[in-house]
Structure 1
Amino acid sequence: MRFLVQKFGGTSVATPELRERAALRVAAARKEGYTPVVVVSAMGRKGEPYATDTLINFVRQVSRDIPAREMDLLMSCGEIISGVVMVATLEKMGYPAVLLTGAQAGIITDGNHNEARIVRVKPEKLLTHAREGKIVVVAGFQGISEDGEITTLGRGGSDTTAAALGVALNAEYVDIYTDVEGIMTADPRIVTDAVALEMVTYDEICQLAHEGAKVVHPRAVEIVMQKNIPLRVRSTFSDAPGTLVTNSGEVYKGTIDITRDRTITGITQIPNVVQFKVATGDGPDGLEQQRRLFKALALAGISLDFINVYPHQVVFTVKEDVSEKAAQVMENTGFNPEIRPGCAKVAAVGAGMTGVPGVMAAIVEAMTKENIPILQSNDSYTTIWVLVRREDMERAVRALHRRFINGG
């Protein structure tokens, strides 16, 4: 069987018309000779009776302190409701279908409630139904632990479900259907002339996703990359081909010098971060101070980003919603940090920048033209980050898009 995993997000199953459109995508795949496996997210927005947020708020009227185990049981309901409705839609169109929960589909996870990780997939029941000619619909975002407890996979969990099933079934493609026509060169709400990319590498989309692009979860990309299974990001609302995510050999096939083809693939951003500068002193005492600082923040469960370590000070950022806690931890440990709130992280991502001189110079030039101060910078093989003031974020994204994507 030629498996094709098709994942439909919440916006793709929100109304009867959209569910029928999604079902037509499934039917088309079947007519093309594929055995489609459909993964669905929960449907509905806050306020609608079947929406996950509505169910959570209903229970929180009784108590705000809901145990993680019971919260997983509650949160798994949304995808099951969505899956039943999708099966009914397919059946109405004349296609025999069956719904499997994450547990029934063989999604085995660790026991970390609310943020479980898939450890393996046992697709035997799914394969039995597929051999009987049924379209298998799987409730995304959920699985079952080794000891039989229902778990949920955290943000992007339905993407992760689709990717794991794609690997387990050795699917020809994993298609992620969403409300945009593919992976864009920048957020179209900020850059009006952003365009959908035809192809990107696994590494590039992981970086774009980690740095704020919300089209596909990076964990899903990391999973399909293990077996080199192509992933396509497509729109439920149009017939556009979408973006193919694959290895660099496919993306740059036939290209003699990829640096002339595409140095930067896309620009993305993360708003609402806070910068901390902490003086630690020089020499052995300074090293000990840095150890104490990082140890205290780690024990408090605070994730740091954009870290620069110097002989006399440490500079890093945290998300705005944990900045007060971070400041309190540092003060309790004897540090007096310099705090800059209201920052944003802007990233230029592209596998083609590796070994190419002048990329940082071009970034500084673009920021200088817009009179945007760079508060901090960092880089890797595929990404250069700059920290800017929050009020400068959108201008910074547009400036880098003009410079690298539009050739200005």
Structure 2
Amino acid sequence: MRVLVQKFGGTSVSSAERRAQVAAKVSEAVREGYSPVVVVSAIGRSGDPYATDTFINLVNGITLESPKREMDLLMSCGEIISGVVLTSTLKNIGLDVVLLTGGQAGIITNDCYGDARIIRVEPKAILDHLSEGRVVVVTGFQGITEDGQVTTLGRGGSDTTASALGVALNAEAIDIYTDVEGIMTADPRIVEDARILDVVTYNEICHLAHQGAKVIHPRAVEIAMQRNIPIWIKCAFSDARGTLVTSIQPDMGAGTDITGDRTITGIAHTPNVTQIQVPTHDAPDMLQVDKQIFKGMALADISVDFISVQPESVLYTVPDDLAKKATKILENLGFKPTAVPGCAKVSIVGAGIAGVPGVMADMVEALSDAGVRILQSADSHTTIWVLVNKEDMVPAVQALHKKFLLSAC
């Protein structure tokens, strides 16, 4: 049995015309000899009547803190509606099709409502239907706990569903259909000559996704990477080839070039972050101070990023909407933090960065020539991050894209 997982995002199923295009993709997979497992997201985006955010807004304002278990029940409705509508569309073109919720599909999670993690997948129900020649549609973004409680998987949860099913079913590939034609070297709304990448590694796309690229959720990539299941990022509304996500390093010539020559793969950005500066030079015990700061953030469920621990201070970033909460906690702990709101993180990502001299020099030169001031920086073996003022984000991305010749084929 040749299993192919096809995941369709909310915009892909937002109208009858688009659902017909989705049905054509599924039908084509059947003709090519695949047994498709189709994962669907809720219809549309925020503001649309059946989008997840629309359901959330129905409850917001009623109570100060909505009950998480019940909210998961509500949020799971969007994918169920989408699944029923798409199943009807597929039946209408003559396909034998069945719809399964996440729980019915065997997706077992922990009980962290709103952001549950998949513990395991029990795919027997899916395999039984596939063996009888049916197309299986699965509602994305959801699962059940060991005791049968409905959970949701957090933002990007339908991508995670698709990857988890791809691994559990040993699929030949996972096709992630979106409204773009692949992974691009930068956001095309910012960089006009951004181009589609033919191939990226799992590691590269994980870093691009973590740094702001919205095409696929990094958790989904990490799951597929465990079994080396290829992921294709494609457009639901065209026949473009898309981008292949794999373990194979791009630009590697068979039998000759074993290093590849693509140093930088793409530029990512994350707007709307606040830099928190915590002076610590007067602290009698630096180890205890650092522990206090980060434990305080953790207990308040504030995720911190871009961490820099120095002898005189601790620097990190939080989303703008959590900055007041973060500074209040620090003040209650006896610190005197400074918040620098309206920042953005800009990153260059590439598997070829490690060990290549001059990359940081080129980055600093490009930003300096563009008049962009660096507020903070950090690096890893595949990524270099800089924090800039939000108004400098667009010129920073454009300058770096040009500097590293990413528009060149």
TM-score band, normalised by shorter chain: over 0.9
SS in structure 1 of the partner of residue 314 of structure 2: strand
Shift of 1:67: 1.4
Tell me: CA distance 1:80–1:52, structure 2 relative to 1, closer, same or farther (3 Å). Answer: same
Tell me: CA distance 1:294–1:320, structure 2 relative to 1, closer, same or farther (3 Å). Answer: same
For 1:213, give the aligned amino acid.
A
Instruction: Indicate the residue corresponding to 2:145 in structure 1.
Output: 145
Measured against aligned partners, the alpha-carbon deviations of 1:348-369 in whole angstroms (never above 9, x if no partner) come to: 0000111100000000110111
Q: After the TM superposition, which of the residue ranges 135-144 and 281-290 deviates more from structure 2?
A: 281-290
Shift of 1:338: 2.5
Q: After the TM superposition, which of the residue ranges 309-318 and 176-185 deviates more from structure 2?
A: 309-318
For 1:89, give the aligned amino acid.
T
SS in structure 2 of the partner of residue 377 of structure 1: strand
1:256 matched to 2:257? The reply is yes
SS in structure 2 of the partner of residue 352 of structure 1: coil
Gaps of 5+ in 2: none
The CA distance in 1 between the partners of 2:13 and 2:373, in whole Å, is 43
Shift of 1:50: 3.1
For 2:391, give the aligned amino acid.
E
Please tell me whether the aligned partners of residues 202 and 246 of structure 2 are also in contact (alpha carbons under 8 angstroms): yes
Point out the structure with the larger helix share: 1
Tell me: CA distance 1:203–1:118, structure 2 relative to 1, closer, same or farther (3 Å). Answer: same
Instruction: Indicate the residue corresponding to 2:100 in structure 1.
Output: 100
Q: How does 1:99-248 map to 2 (within 5 A)?
A: 99-248=99-248
Tell me: CA distance 1:149–1:393, structure 2 relative to 1, closer, same or farther (3 Å). Answer: same
The CA distance in 1 between the partners of 2:126 and 2:289, in whole Å, is 55
Instruction: Indicate the residue corresponding to 1:382 in structure 2.
Output: 382
Please tell me whether the aligned partners of residues 283 and 311 of structure 1 are also in contact (alpha carbons under 8 angstroms): no
The CA distance in 1 between the partners of 2:253 and 2:28, in whole Å, is 29
The CA distance in 1 between the partners of 2:133 and 2:96, in whole Å, is 7
For 1:290, give the aligned amino acid.
D
The CA distance in 1 between the partners of 2:329 and 2:52, in whole Å, is 34
Q: After the TM superposition, which of the residue ranges 108-117 and 168-177 deviates more from structure 2?
A: 108-117
The alignment's TM-score, normalised by the length of structure 1, stands at 0.95
1:67 matched to 2:67? The reply is yes
Tell me: CA distance 1:118–1:307, structure 2 relative to 1, closer, same or farther (3 Å). Answer: same
Query: Root-mean-square deviation (CA), in Å?
Result: 1.7
The CA distance in 2 between the partners of 1:365 and 1:232, in whole Å, is 35
Tell me: CA distance 1:257–1:361, structure 2 relative to 1, closer, same or farther (3 Å). Answer: farther
For 2:226, give the aligned amino acid.
Q
The CA distance in 2 between the partners of 1:222 and 1:132, in whole Å, is 31
SS in structure 2 of the partner of residue 278 of structure 1: strand
Measured against aligned partners, the alpha-carbon deviations of 1:290-312 in whole angstroms (never above 9, x if no partner) come to: 33323322322222111111112
For 1:73, give the aligned amino acid.
L
Tell me: CA distance 1:46–1:390, structure 2 relative to 1, closer, same or farther (3 Å). Answer: closer
Instruction: Indicate the residue corresponding to 1:82 in structure 2.
Output: 82
Tell me: CA distance 1:128–1:288, structure 2 relative to 1, closer, same or farther (3 Å). Answer: closer
Instruction: Indicate the residue corresponding to 2:335 in structure 1.
Output: 335
Please tell me whether the aligned partners of residues 201 and 251 of structure 1 are also in contact (alpha carbons under 8 angstroms): no
Shift of 1:252: 3.2
Q: After the TM superposition, which of the residue ranges 74-83 and 43-52 deviates more from structure 2?
A: 43-52
The CA distance in 1 between the partners of 2:379 and 2:48, in whole Å, is 44
For 1:226, give the aligned amino acid.
Q
1:348 matched to 2:365? The reply is no
The CA distance in 1 between the partners of 2:189 and 2:36, in whole Å, is 33
Q: Percent identity?
A: 62
SS in structure 2 of the partner of residue 321 of structure 1: helix
The CA distance in 2 between the partners of 1:68 and 1:239, in whole Å, is 41
The CA distance in 2 between the partners of 1:371 and 1:297, in whole Å, is 34
1:37 matched to 2:52? The reply is no
Tell me: CA distance 1:354–1:151, structure 2 relative to 1, closer, same or farther (3 Å). Answer: same
The alignment's TM-score, normalised by the length of structure 2, stands at 0.95
The CA distance in 2 between the partners of 1:296 and 1:332, in whole Å, is 10
Please tell me whether the aligned partners of residues 107 and 122 of structure 2 are also in contact (alpha carbons under 8 angstroms): yes
For 2:361, give the aligned amino acid.
A
Measured against aligned partners, the alpha-carbon deviations of 1:126-147 in whole angstroms (never above 9, x if no partner) come to: 1111111111000111111001
Please tell me whether the aligned partners of residues 141 and 157 of structure 2 are also in contact (alpha carbons under 8 angstroms): yes
For 2:42, give the aligned amino acid.
A
